[in-house]
Amino acid sequence: MITLFKNIKTLVQVEEISKQFVSGKEMKNLPVIKNAFLIIKDEFILDFGKMKDLKPLNFDVIIDVSGKIILPTWCDSHTHLVYSGNREQEFVDRINGLSYEEIANNGGGILNSAKKLQQISEAELYKQSSKRLEEVIKLGTGAIEIKSGYGLTKEAELKMLRVIKKLNENYPITIKATFLGAHALPLEYKNNKSGYLDLVINEILPEISNENLAEFFDVFCETGYFDINDTIRLLKAAKKYNLKPKIHVNQFNAIGGIQAGVEFKALSVDHLEEMRDEDIVALKDTKTMPVALPSCSYFLSIPYTPARKMIDAGLPLALATDYNPGSTPSGNMNFVVSTACIKMKMTPEEAINAATKNGAYAMGIEKTHGSICKGKKANFIITKEIPSYSFIPYSFGSPQILKVFLEGKEIIF
Ligand code: NIG
Ligand code: FE
């Protein structure tokens, strides 16, 4: 089936040839076509251009989108969307003065979510997670990475990854799975960290590889969680099973996680709220994408990733939500893009590049997602009638989305 979208006010993020990612000064360039058309055939983009160049073709459907903007759907490259229950009590505790660290030390935090996850059935976990997935699709996300890491036992980690797999089979959104066994040390291993690493490396990892349940590998490289030696040990094991690293680093402390990530050819290093000059230098001219998670900084009131400093130093940057019950109970990429502009001083062009093209790269799907390009998936957002694409971050908290198309089909839930 061939569908024409005509009279598009602005067609955003167009590419003749797909670039891997954009970095440094290039991030300020967001290629657009004004008064444009877009043609899709089944689930793919067939053609696009200026209205004046539109050639007659046998269209099955013609949709007039006068006054509206079309842009590629968001690529959210870092989430923990599969989880059980919520942690609103910790939110209240933080308002009353406890820190994230104090809450975790009192048995809250990741271990609190792990307890809930170990108790829930796979069917109920799927149900809770699918609600969140539907919500983010309606908010314009067309590709998403989801991590395990709230299981912390072999059985519960596999349960999470099977739910991720099932979501991928049942929804038109592209989902990439990451194994995050080393997210926190379970209580039973409190005095036996190497025993837990043995479990992750020798028991869980081989099974995940066997069942083909994850493409990426993550570790929470942080003081009080997994140190740099643990991280290196884990990354070596992941390499043996061909799982590419995408790792949590520099959230509260800079302890060398970026350097380890670069050494092990991580696809991305994520969080980066605490960045030293040498961390920026380590990322320069590498294929490792730095990923910022501004709604986590917002929710926990911790520093924002120094995007300006990083981009001005020539680095690329991707933006993602970090959707999870503890540090970011929101999967709204529109809010992330706004917050990046408002709090990190990224321009709307940089933020949209970071949330589409660079986000796609941070999931290894830049050949099929992240831009309006012939042959790529027909995944795009049609906005309401808005004056310009800058209106999207400007109108923070009010998504300007009229319709979402994934694989050529309008999303209707
Ligand atoms: O990315 N930092 C580690 N993991 C999550 C938060 C986990 C939690 O609090 O449940 C994050 O912020
Ligand atoms: Fe995270």
User: Which pLDDT score, from 0 to 100, does residue 105 have?
Assistant: 87
Ligand number nearest to the C-alpha of 325: 1
Domain limits, the chain:
2-72+371-410, 75-361
Q: Ligand 1, closest atom to CA 110? A: 10
Q: Report whether pLDDT(393) > 90.
A: yes
Task: Give the count of alpha carbons within 13 A of 231, CB side only.
Answer: 29
Is residue 106's pLDDT more than 90? no
Phi, psi of 14 (to 5 degrees): -95, 145
Q: Phi, psi (5° rounding) for residue 153?
A: -130, 165
User: Within its chain, how far is the Cα of 202 from the centroid?
Assistant: 28
Q: Which of 385, 374, 390, 378 is nearest to 142 (CA)?
A: 378
CB of 369 within 8 A of CB of 377?
yes
pLDDT digits (tens, 9 = 90+) for 349-386: 999 999 999 999 999 999 999 999 999 999 999 999 99
| Best residue among 90, 179, 183 to mutate for probing ligand 1, ranked by most atoms within 8 Å of CB | 183
- Burial tier of 29 (Cβ tally within 10 Å: 0-12, 13-18, 19+): exposed
Task: Give the binding-site residues of ligand 1, using a 6 Å CB cut-off.
Answer: 109-110, 113, 220, 248, 251, 296, 322, 324-327
- What pTM was estimated for this model as a whole? 0.98
Classified by CATH at the fold level, domain 75-361 comes out as: TIM Barrel (3.20.20)
Task: Give the lowest-confidence range in 78-92, 99-113, 249-263, 382-396.
Answer: 99-113
Give the per-residue pLDDT at 413. Answer: 79
Q: Tell me if the domain spanning 2-72+371-410 has CATH number 1.10.3720.10.
A: no
Summarize pLDDT for 260-299 with one digit per residue, the tens. Answer: 999 999 999 999 999 999 999 999 999 999 999 999 999 9
**Cα(384)–Cα(20) distance, integer angstroms:** 30
| Closest to 376 (Cα-Cα) out of 2, 57, 46 | 46
